[in-house]
């Protein structure tokens, strides 16, 4: 029974989010839905960056690949199931590719490598106009039966992603990722297949990110490259670091802060990003152990992660 408590908590949060979503006006519902979809995407990032401690700046690209794959599938007459499957699989393949390229790269270089990969994906989305319509974006056919379905699918997806990270955290893969984060050399010495562990972590991150991309494409009804560029990948990393205070609920808190605050206050996007930048830099400076150390310290309090 003890292990069930976190899931009860997640279920309650999910129900609360659903209740909130259906009771507020359309504007706030839109803000809340964005927060919840970001929660899915950043929960994905939480696997490689939170559990594994690898500063991946490419989650925005997975999010984008999922969005475009699902949109293109629907445009070509496929149903939503196929579209969702394609979103998850294509993002997963991109994750596999990046993983194979960078799994043996460490620290800063992993951060920079993923950043540049995000830039390349954004450039492709912008310039492959034959497929993506470029900066103009794609109109996304609506795959659900009614608009109301989104009102429960979005919170349910957010809850499921939180539960998934909770479950992963206590699984063998999760424990291996935590070991890699703690000390990669030591992990390798004691027989953890670090390269394979990181690869698996990145692919799972990517697949969850791809699923979130399908959700945003459906919710918005339109997508364009600026929703998924390298800045988005970075801001997702910030969301995990900020809210992330390392708990499974970190992505929800972080997304609420990073997406919700500027939207509710109706800040122009420039000020919103300015605020995000300041918050992030301040957090890095004032968390005495440093960013990764801070995440570590709080992560240790995470239920189920106590080694």
Partner 1 sequence: MQARTAAKTIAGAALGVAMATLLAARPAAAQDKTVTMGAILPLSGLFSTLGPPERDAMQMAVTKINGGGGFEVGGQKYKLALKVLDDESTAATVGIAAFRQLVQVDNVPVLVLADNTRNYASLLQRFPLPLLNILDSTYPSILDVDKHVFLLRSDTPAYVPGAVWYLANVLHKKRIAWIGSAADPYSTGIETWVKKAAAEYGVEVVADVNYPPGTTNFSPFIQTAMAAKPDAIYLGGVTQEVLPVAKQLFQAGIRDLPVFHNSGATPTQAKQIIGDDLYNDVMATNYDFAGTLPETSDNPATKTFYKDFLAQYKEYPDDLTMWAYDAPYVLIGAMQKAGSVTDREKIYQAMLTQTVPAETISGWMPAEGGKLFHGRDAQTLSEGVRWCTATKTIAPAFLYFMDGLKVTDQKLIANGCGG
Partner 2 sequence: MLQQALVNGVVLGALFALLGVGLTLVYGVMEVPNFAQAGVVTIGAYIMVTLHQSARWPFYLAVAGGVLAAGAISVATERFAYRYVRTRPLAAPAVALGLLLILDNSALELWGGDHVSLTPPYGAGLVQLGGMTIPAVGVALVLTAAVSMLLLWLLLTRTGIGRAIRAVSQNAEAAATLGIELERQYVTAFFISGVLAGLAAFAYAPTYAVFPYMADGVIFNGFVVVILGGLGNVWGAAVGGILLGLVESLSAVYVSAAYQTVIGFVVLLAVIVLRPAGLFAGTARRVA
Site string for partner 1, 154-173 (x = CB under 8 A): --------------------
Within residues 198-227, the interface with partner 1 by CB under 8 A covers 220-224, 226-227
Spatial CA neighbour of 220 closest among 293, 154, 130, 297 = 154
Question: For partner 1, which is the closer residue by CB, 127 or 171?
Answer: 127
Least separation in angstroms between CB 55 and partner 1: 25
User: Dihedrals φ, ψ of 139, to 5°?
Assistant: -85, 130
Does 264 participate in binding partner 2 (rule CB under 8 A)? no
DSSP state for residue 47 in the 8-state scheme: I
Residue at token pair 């429960």: 152
Which of 11, 105, 173, 264 touches partner 2 (CB under 8 A)?
105
Which of 76, 79, 135, 281 touches partner 1 (CB under 8 A)?
135
* Strand segments (E) across 124-197: 138-139
271 binds, among partner 1, partner 2, none (CB under 5 to 8 A by kind): partner 2
Least separation in angstroms between CB 276 and partner 1: 15
Does 302 participate in binding partner 2 (rule CB under 8 A)? no
CA distances to 39, 217, 236, 238, 240 from 244, rounded to whole Å, are 11, 25, 11, 9, 4
# residues near partner 2 by CB under 8 A: 41
Q: Please state, in angstroms and rounded to a whole number, the distance separating the CA atoms of residues 286 and 196.
A: 34
Q: Please state, in angstroms and rounded to a whole number, the distance separating the CA atoms of residues 240 and 186.
A: 26
Question: For partner 2, which is the closer residue by CB, 159 or 244?
Answer: 244
Burial environment of residue 79 by CB neighbours within 10 A (0 to 12, 13 to 18, 19 or more): exposed
Q: Give one DSSP letter per residue of 212-257, joined into a string.
A: HHHHHHHHHSEE-GGGSSHHHHHHHHHHHHHTTSSSTTHHHHHHII
Does 131 participate in binding partner 2 (rule CB under 8 A)? no
Secondary element (H or E) of residue 139: strand 138-139
Contact 170, 24 (CB under 8 A): no
120 binds, among partner 2, partner 1, none (CB under 5 to 8 A by kind): partner 2
Q: 199: how many CB neighbours lie within 10 A of its CB?
A: 20
Residues in the chain: 307
Q: Please state, in angstroms and rounded to a whole number, the distance separating the CA atoms of residues 49 and 235.
A: 13
Does 184 participate in binding partner 1 (rule CB under 8 A)? no
Does 133 participate in binding partner 2 (rule CB under 8 A)? no
| Contact region with partner 2 (CB under 8 A), list: 39-47, 102-110, 199-207, 212-220 | 102-110
Contact 55, 200 (CB under 8 A): no
Within residues 264-283, the interface with partner 1 by CB under 8 A covers 264, 268-269
Q: Please state, in angstroms and rounded to a whole number, the distance separating the CA atoms of residues 86 and 100.
A: 21
| Contact region with partner 1 (CB under 8 A), list: 3-11, 191-199, 200-208, 275-283 | 3-11
Which of 76, 171, 271, 301 touches partner 2 (CB under 8 A)?
271
Question: For partner 2, which is the closer residue by CB, 54 or 219?
Answer: 54
Q: Which residues bind partner 2 (CB under 8 A)?
A: 55, 57, 101-102, 104-109, 111-113, 115-117, 119-120, 123-124, 127, 231, 234, 237-238, 241, 270-271, 273-274, 276-278, 280-281, 284-285, 290-293
Which positions lie near partner 1, rule CB under 8 A?
2, 5-6, 8-10, 12-13, 16-17, 19-20, 23-28, 30-32, 126-127, 129, 133-137, 139-142, 147, 220-224, 226-227, 249, 256, 263-264, 268-269, 303
């Amino acid at each position: 029974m003890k292990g069930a408590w976190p899931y009860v908590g997640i279920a309650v949060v999910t129900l609360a989010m659903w209740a909130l979503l259906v009771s507020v006006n359309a504007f706030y519902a839109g803000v809340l839905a964005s927060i919840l979809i970001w929660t899915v995407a950043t929960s994905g990032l939480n696997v490689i960056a939170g559990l594994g401690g690898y500063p991946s700046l490419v989650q925005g690209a997975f999010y984008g690949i999922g969005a475009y794959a699902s949109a293109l599938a629907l445009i070509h007459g496929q149903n939503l199931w196929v579209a969702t499957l394609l979103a998850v699989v294509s993002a997963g393949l991109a994750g596999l590719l990046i993983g194979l390229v960078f799994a043996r790269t460490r620290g800063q270089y992993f951060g920079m490598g993923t950043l540049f990969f995000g830039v390349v994906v954004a450039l492709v989305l912008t310039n492959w106009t034959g497929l993506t319509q470029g900066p103009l974006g794609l109109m996304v056919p609506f795959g659900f039966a009614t608009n109301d379905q989104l009102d429960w699918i979005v919170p349910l997806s957010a809850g499921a992603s939180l539960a998934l990270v909770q479950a992963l955290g206590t699984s063998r893969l999760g424990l291996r990722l935590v070991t890699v984060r703690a000390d990669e050399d030591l992990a390798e010495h004691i027989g953890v297949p670090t390269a394979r562990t990181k690869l698996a972590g990145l692919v799972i991150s990517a697949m969850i990110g791809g699923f979130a991309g399908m959700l945003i494409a459906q919710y918005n009804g339109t997508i364009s490259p600026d929703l998924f560029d390298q800045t988005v990948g970075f801001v997702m990393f910030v969301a995990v670091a900020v809210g992330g205070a390392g708990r499974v609920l970190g992505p929800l808190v972080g997304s609420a802060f990073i997406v919700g605050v500027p939207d509710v206050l109706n800040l122009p996007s420039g000020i919103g990003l300015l605020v995000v930048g300041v918050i992030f830099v301040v957090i890095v400076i004032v968390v005495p152990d440093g960013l990764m150390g801070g995440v570590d310290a709080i992560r240790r309090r995470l239920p189920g992660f106590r080694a």
